[in-house]
Amino acid sequence: MQKLKDFAGCLKEEAHQYDSVYLTPHSWTSALQSVSSLCKLVDHILLPMGEIELSKFSLPSNKKPVRFGFACIRPPGHHASSSLANGYCLINHVAVAATYALEYFGGRFGDAELVQDESPKSSPKNSYPFLRNPKPQRRVAILDWDIHHGDGTQSIFWNDPNVLFCSIHAQKAFPFVSGSSAKSVGGPNAFGRTVNVAWTSHGMGDNEYVYALQTLILPILQEFQPTLILISAGFDAATGDSYCGNLSPVNGFGRMTTEILRVATEMDCPVIASLEGGYKQSVLVPCVASVVQSMVVFGEESIMTRNENDERNFLKGFANDALVGTTSSINHAITGSIASSIDGVCPTAVKNIEATRAAQQQFWKCLSVNHLKQER
């Protein structure tokens, strides 16, 4: 018993070195399983797009490539930087997945050459494929709609022109950093690659998020032309989860997902969502269901992966009676059209969005004054 107490004390002492980090004997294993699950999902979606024979690599061979996927993993990751755990996050899963895609998948993913690792240390069972592309065109977009700013993700890709990081978040919430404002636009080599829509008041809902997406983020996304879109899918902006947000599980998250999928399909770009924040199971379940259902209803197959520690509890949650009967509502919400109208949008939200537009105009043609005049 004394050894266990000493061990628990060591974990507590280690956790105190970081901001809002809590450790158990299983924390590191869970974090590793989570990032492994997400990278495996990247494999499942990107490798078949190249019409490559996958049988010898222990990956499924799909006649029709899977374009969308959801990784239901915990702990979350978007607060973790390259060298520091933070805000419940030990490893930044989305950042690892983005880097993995940039390193191992070139071009439009289908243009790459698959090469087997034949090093002496590798066995047929453990050998792993990697991709080479003589003309790499690698661009990853990360969309973070967690109520908290993805400060870790932003710091990792701050000066990387190949990664677009867009975040919609409450400015007056953890991690309370100045770098979460609209004025933060990226490093010297990546101006405009960081896009922050920072709500300066709480309670922003469906209209505000959809308006920000339609009038600002999606046009930037289309101009950036990513080869992979990763969503840091936190659901703590949902009504009933936190004091900061007021997004409905179905009309909010389901519709945002559908709009992202529409734009992604036009660009022939796969989309992978990865679970971040969200703390009340009764709220989290319909939120996740609406995103997954959006992927299914949109007309494509999808994959959902889970790390082993979360699988049992999450499946139990999915069977919860609260979810029964929501499918028809989800279908109706995500198949309807969304007008990028300012009607019903909170004036403060409009002001916040315009602040981001002003900070980004010089970097994106779609936001320039002349371009907007031509559209009108």
Greatest mean pLDDT among 29-33, 35-39, 244-248 lies in 35-39
In one-letter notation, the amino acid at residue 57 is F
What is the per-residue pLDDT across 247-303, written as a single tens digit (0 to 9) for each?
Answer: 887 779 999 999 999 999 999 999 999 998 888 888 999 999 999 999 988 755 455
Phi-psi region of 225 (alpha: psi -120 to 50; beta: other; left: phi over 0): left
- Of the spans 265-274, 311-320, 362-371, which averages the highest pLDDT? 265-274
Contacts with 125 (C-beta within 8 Å, 6 or more apart), sequence order = none
Euclidean distance between CA atoms 285 and 305, whole angstroms? 15
The mean pLDDT value for 204-219 works out to 95
Q: CB of 171 within 8 A of CB of 180?
A: yes
Helix (H, G, I), strand (E, B) or coil at 130: strand
What pLDDT band is residue 4 in, cutting at 50, 70 and 90? very low
pLDDT for the residue 289: 93
Higher pLDDT, 35 or 315: 35
In a domain, 315, yes or no: yes
**Token duo for residue 367:** 């936001």
* Total tally of structural domains belonging to the chain: 1
Mean pLDDT computed over 319-340: 44
Side-chain-facing half-sphere of 219: CA atoms under 13 Å: 19
The pLDDT of residue 304 is above 80: no
pLDDT tens, 86-126?
666 788 999 999 999 998 875 444 444 444 444 444 444 43
Q: Give, for 333, the enclosing helix (H) or strand (E).
A: helix 327-335
Taking Cα atoms as reference points, which of 308, 321, 230, 221 lies closest to residue 281? 321
Q: What is the pLDDT of residue 277?
A: 81
Note if 79 is an active site residue. yes
Determine the Cα–Cα distance for residues 254 and 303; give it in Å rounded to an integer: 17
Burial (CB count <10 Å: 0-12, 13-18, 19+), residue 17: exposed
Look at residue 242 and tell me if it is in a domain: yes
Answer whether residue 9 is part of any domain.
Answer: no
In the block, which residue shows the tokens 């790499």? 136
pLDDT at 189 exceeding the cut of 70: yes
Please report whether residue 275 resides in a domain. Answer: yes
Model pLDDT, residue 137: 62
What CATH number is attached to the domain comprising 209? 3.40.800.20
| Token representation of residue 277 | 């924040």
Say which amino acid occupies 190: A
| CA neighbor of 150 nearest in space, from 191, 198, 205 | 198
Decide which of 341 and 6 is more confident: 341
Using CA atoms in the order 354, 358, 363, 369, what is the torsion angle rounded to 10 degrees?
Answer: 90
pLDDT at 45 over 70: yes
Domain that includes residue 268, residue range: 21-375
Q: Record the tokens describing residue 40, joined without a space.
A: 């495996």
Cα separation of 373 and 213, whole Å?
20
10 in any annotated domain: no
pLDDT value at 50 more than 60: no
The pLDDT tens digits for 120-161 are: 444 444 333 444 443 346 899 999 998 889 899 999 999 999
Give the predicted TM-score (pTM) of the model.
Answer: 0.77
| 125 belongs to a structural domain | yes
Residue 86 placed within a domain: yes
Mean pLDDT for the chain? 75
Predicted confidence at residue 361, as pLDDT, reads 96
Which residues on adjacent β-strands are paired with residue 189?
A: none
For 157-199, the DSSP string reads TTT-TTEEEEEEEETTSTT--GGGSTT----TT-TTSEEEEEE
Is residue 75 situated within a structural domain? yes
Which range among 12-16, 75-79, 85-89, 290-294 shows the weakest confidence by mean pLDDT?
12-16
Looking at the chain, the whole-number percentage of residues with pLDDT higher than 90 is: 41
Of 44, 79, 148, 169, the catalytic one is 79
Q: How far is CA 238 from the centre of its chain?
A: 16
Among 352, 351, 6, which Cα is nearest to 181's? 352
